[in-house]
Structure 1
């Protein structure tokens, strides 16, 4: 545990924190070289890069809560110009991501000025999959995407799946300097976790199909501590989440110094793909001999390119057949 006002800066890390006076816990992320590597490797158009960056930093915030052998995946499938995003987080801090998009539709959206995250994703769903490893049960939460931002989708996920009052802020941008540019991303997540579960109660949602004239009973309303925490987080601006000269500790101190904020050991993250020749062989041997034969190119080899890291594998069909025969 460290003093939030004096700890040195650092990119590519997630910093857990607690504001005990408000019964709030959270994490704040700063991604530099890791997100720049992911985005630059694919040469996505700028609007696509920004949405991918938002998905990656959201995944880092959520996945960093896993145990050492856990895995977290964020995936979107939608009808918008960006029709799919996949982000994998392998604990304790390995990230990889890729996206599929319709280049013509993205270009048209840019020309029309329709480049918000909701406009680019469109309608479909967001799936968040948690695999704690070992004998733990695999869990998946699904949120409908109906033109909202990823921040709003995250809020909806926590309302319906975790029932924990949660607020998420995401920011992605390009840092310029010396004629060069690099992508950066930052994120902040706070959750209201009082010792007494009674303090987390909210008014019930309107049932929608209730008889005409029905009025749901009023609940206790929102807790004052959570109201204050949300107000403070709402003051955070994008440039503060992206500024490489502003440490995450300094940002938290700005927000919560009057209440007292404690920070814990930062969790380093890095761009890292888990593809390998062995994994490619294991995947290929699952195909029938006829299907594998159809994959052979003019050079007599099977060419596979990883969608996440763009690494190309040149596989000898004889090696695949031997692996299949070996079981």
Structure 2
């Protein structure tokens, strides 16, 4: 495996496998793409950090799609960030947006309750796979109970995919050119042994133990009793934030640090970038779906219907006659 520090690995996902441990995974490094998303909206720092985590997680999962389609992560909760949406369009585009409850954010800052779990609060997280109109969408939902996005992802894979999974996410800034630039990174590893027997947990209680002593019985939180998975999971949990954010540390070098004793195999990286799916045609079609009364209420003082994309902030303006013409003609 390549171990030299190289440039040009930002905004990419590097798939890898460790055959000796029966694990596969991906490393994501987001630079200019996530900085563009967060700088465009000028979110407060705590909100940018949480949305950056969500974007890194979505790209990690979305790049696993083997078909053209969309992977979407969406949260709805009662915290200072009541909603986040991150869309990934295979094979390589993503966009992201967050909604903010200003009053709750001020309160959270005052109380220094700024962890991801605190800012999201309680609600749910949905992960949706959409292959297009010809197929049924798949959606997995997990509750949000003030836990981190890493923990929510682990719960999703336990209940929806039943694949032992570990995720580490990091978001931060690096100052260059006189201003801080946002960066995000993450690593995902999954246990995929050839034999399903190795996914089974030990089902016999180890017997009487002293009160207060933790019972491990060789199992990890996923309920898997396998030394290879325990080793892989433990190694990934040692990854520190700066290792995922350092622009001079190549993903190959990080994997070498983790798995050099076992040997990791890396595959062709996927270059990703920020891109919105909005267009004048899509917005026009949406407007024509509203009732005549609603369209009339949307007309601004300048006599036009205006719509701003909440993802990319692009402004679209239409003459009422342009919208109505399509409605009457059946377009």
Q: Which residue of 2 aligns with 1:253?
A: 256
Q: Which residue of 2 aligns with 1:189?
A: 188
CA distance in 2, matches of 1:147, 1:51: 13
When normalised by structure 1's length, the TM-score is 0.92
Note closer, same or farther for the CA distance 1:22–1:155 as it changes in structure 2 (3 Å cut).
Answer: same
Q: Which residue of 2 aligns with 1:277?
A: 280
Q: Which residue of 1 aligns with 2:144?
A: 145
Alignment of 1:312 with 2:315, yes or no, is: yes
Deviation string 1:49-82 (CA, Å, 9 cap, x unpaired) is: 0000000000000000113411000000000011
Deviation string 1:236-291 (CA, Å, 9 cap, x unpaired) is: 10000000000001100110011000000101110000101000110000112121
Q: Which residue of 2 aligns with 1:222?
A: 225
Alignment of 1:27 with 2:30, yes or no, is: no
Q: Which residue of 2 aligns with 1:237?
A: 240
Q: Which residue of 2 aligns with 1:8?
A: 6
Alignment of 1:322 with 2:308, yes or no, is: no
Q: Which residue of 1 aligns with 2:212?
A: none
Q: Which residue of 2 aligns with 1:79?
A: 78
1:179 deviation in Å? Answer: 2.3
1:7 deviation in Å? Answer: 7.5
Q: Over aligned residues, Cα RMSD in angstroms? A: 1.6
SS at 1:245's partner residue? coil
1:180 deviation in Å? Answer: 1.4
Q: Which residue of 2 aligns with 1:38?
A: 37
The alignment covers a number of residue pairs equal to 313
CA contact (8 A) 1:4 1:261 kept: no
Q: Which residue of 2 aligns with 1:124?
A: 123
Structure 1 stretches of 4+ moved >4 Å: 218-221
Question: What residue ranges of structure 1 are gaps of 5+ in the alignment?
Answer: 207-217
When normalised by structure 2's length, the TM-score is 0.91
Q: Which residue of 2 aligns with 1:49?
A: 48
Question: What residue ranges of structure 2 are gaps of 5+ in the alignment?
Answer: 206-216
Q: Which residue of 1 aligns with 2:106?
A: 107
